[in-house]
Structure formats: C-alpha cells, structure tokens
Amino acid sequence: MGGPGDPPEGTPEGAPGGAEDEYRSVVFDESFVRAARLQEYSAQERISAHTPAVRRRPPLRRGPSRQALILALLIALAFGTAIYLGIRHPQQTPQVQQPVTALRATVVPLAPQGKVPGAGDPEVLYAHSPAARFAIGAEGIPLPVVRRTAHFSHSQIVAALSAAKDYVVASSLDPQVLTEGRTHPVRALLAPGQLDQFDRSIDAPAADGRHAPTGWLVRFDPDRVELADRRIRVQGSLRAVEADATTLEVSADHTLVYALKPAGSAAGEPASLFTVRRELQFRLTHDDVRLHRVQLAVAHVRAGPLSCAEDTANHFRPLLAGQTAKAGGPAGTDPYAPDSTTALCGALAPGAQPRM
C-alpha cells in the first residue's frame, strides 16, 4: 500500500521517487529551443482562430564558419599578391636562358713621336692639353635622357645605363684598381657567365683578344708609375638601344686622362699625362638589369704614350715625362695560331699631348 497522500496506484512515472525517467538526460537549453523547426503557438494565438497547435519557423540564418572566412582571406591575399607582382614586374616572365657573350677586346698602344711633355704641377699639364675642359671623375659620365622601348620600361633602361656607368667608374676611375691590383670592384659587376673568362684573364693574361686584363679594365704597372693626381679627367657618352625583346645594348665611349709620375718619386717630380680612349659595348638581359650587372661584349681601347714593343695585355707601362718610345714595332702575329689577333700599334698625334 502506498503511504498517506500517495495515489492509490502508487507514484506515477516521472514523479520524484517514481520510475526512472528515460528522458531525464535530455536538456532543452535555449539554443536547442531556438534551433527547433517547429514552434508551438501561444495560448492567445490558439484562441484567435489558429487551429494547429504548432507553426513552422523560418530556417535559422547562420553566418559562415571561421574556417571558411580564413580560407577566403588566404585566397584573396594570394590573388592580390599575384596581381601586384604582375604589375610590378611585367617583363619578368620565365625566359629561356641565353648564353653569355664572350668578350672580344682590342688594345692598341699609341707611341709618341718625340719626348713626352712633363710639368711639376698636373694642373698645368691639364690646362695646356685637350682635356682642359673635361669633367672630373664620374661627373664626366652623365646619363642621357631616355625613353621606353617596346620591351623595356623607362626605369629599366635607366637601370641598365646606371649599371654600365658603374662599370666604367669601377674599371677606369678607382685608384685601387688603377695602381693597386684590385679587381673585385670590376668583377662584382659582371654577369656570372663571364666570370670564368675574367678570372682567366687576370690569372693568365694573353694578347689573344679574349684574355687581356687591359680590355676589361685600366691598370698601370705599379712598379713603374703612380697617380700624380687622383682627379682624373673624363669626357664621353652613354647610349642604350633595344637589340631584341630580351636584350638591351649599351654603348660607352669615353676618353680618360691620367696624370702620372714615377713610382715612389719625391714630391715635385715632373708628371706627364696618359690618355685612354675606351669604346665599350655591353649587353644586358632583363635579369641583368634587375640584378645590376653587365655583360661586356666588345672593348676597343687606344692608349698612350706607350712603346709599341711593350706588352700591353696585362698592364699599361706608360712613357713618362722626358721619355721617348723604344725602337721596334709590336709583337709579331702568328697567322697559323688559332684564335690569334693582329698585334697593332699607332702613332700618338702631337696635338693629343700638352703643348708646353
């Protein structure tokens, strides 16, 4: 029997103390209720002519998941980066690697027809020479006004000209290159494909038109001469043209005048002028322009006063104040030797020397 107050049939299921409720573990929290597709009408709504006890709720609007937002953001970022790189570097599409041109150099010594003029003050020599109005140093290598071409932008052409100018400065105006035997400032500006040829030229000089250091740079025999004035006079020009869709050609034509005196000489020792005419032709691909390097394809050099009998492949050995050219012509040319070049020598015009 049940106790006082209990129903005659015992405690109903679901009441405290009754049979275990099989739905007791189900929790109808607020989020569950909001997510339900069916919703019961309120008592007031059922009274006012609504016979169904429930109504269908509109589907719950859910925003995109956090993972979807991150994925969309990454895709947009990658797409934007691709567009930026395409605009920033429109010409840098993958290209077939082209072989680097080997340097062909011609070095012609110019022999004086009498004694080399000299003076204790280099300024006096410059004032009485054709270099009187030349600029000093890199100021004599101005960049020209340029326009874009079919395959190279204005900025790319300016960059190519700047690289060529830097090569001219490093190879003909750096005192450490001129008289101290340094070559790194020049080597650092060459395309990788020319480094082997350059290194062989420095390590094993040869007057074969390919391995003469004086084709790559201007340098003097340090045992014979030193600079009497570091303010080297320069005059010349740069010009760039498009050779094809992948290559720019830059031409550099400069006359450089150096004041020299005997190595280790005392102050006041008479100095003399030494003139070098360098006509250089560079080739630059899009990669060369971007990486600020050049390919030196052709070098035509005329320099004096020199003796024709002297070897000019490795160093210049200038004739100094009061000296005259030695008797004899240039070294012989062997027509049977492969890849041989003709040994040349010219006469230095009297008007090219200071009129003292």
Q: Which residues of 57-85 are buried (b: 16+ CB within 10 A; e: fewer)?
A: eeeeeeeeeeeeeeeeeeeeeeeeeeeee
Residue 141 resides in a domain: yes
For residues 221 and 315, is the Cβ–Cβ distance under 8 A? Answer: yes
Structure tokens, 59: 């589907």
3-state SS, one letter per residue, for 113-179: CCCCCCECCHHHHHHCCCCCCCEEHHHHCCCCCCCCCCCCCHHHHHHHHHHHHHHHHHHHCCHHHHH
> What was the pLDDT predicted at 37?
58
Residue 345, pLDDT above cutoff 70: yes
Average pLDDT over residues 196-223: 96
Q: What percent of the chain has pLDDT over 90?
A: 61
Residue 79, pLDDT above cutoff 90: no
* Higher local confidence (pLDDT), 80 or 126: 126
232: nearest Cα among 259, 262, 271: 259
* Higher local confidence (pLDDT), 268 or 198: 198
> What was the pLDDT predicted at 335?
72
Structure tokens, 184: 């790194």
Residue 73 resides in a domain: no
> What was the pLDDT predicted at 288?
97
Average pLDDT over residues 275-297: 97
Residue 39 resides in a domain: no
Average pLDDT over residues 264-281: 93
The per-residue DSSP string of 47-89 comes to: HTT--SSEEEPPPPP-PPPHHHHHHHHHHHHHHHHHHHHHHHS
Residue 9, pLDDT above cutoff 60: no
Give tens-digit pLDDT for 230-271. 999 999 999 999 999 999 999 999 999 999 999 998 877 899
Residue 338, pLDDT above cutoff 70: no
Give the range of the structural domain holding residue 215, as residue numbers without chain letter: 104-325+342-352
Overall domain count for the chain: 1
> What was the pLDDT predicted at 140?
96
> What was the pLDDT predicted at 94?
44
Give tens-digit pLDDT for 83-132. 776 655 555 444 455 677 899 999 999 999 999 999 999 999 999 999 99
Coil, strand or helix: which one is 289? helix
User: Does the predicted TM-score (pTM) go above 0.85?
Assistant: no
* Average pLDDT score, the chain: 84
Q: How far apart are CA 340 and CA 356, in angstroms?
A: 41
Residue 337 resides in a domain: no
Residue 12, pLDDT above cutoff 80: no
Residue 136 resides in a domain: yes
* Higher local confidence (pLDDT), 223 or 25: 223
Residue 55, pLDDT above cutoff 60: no
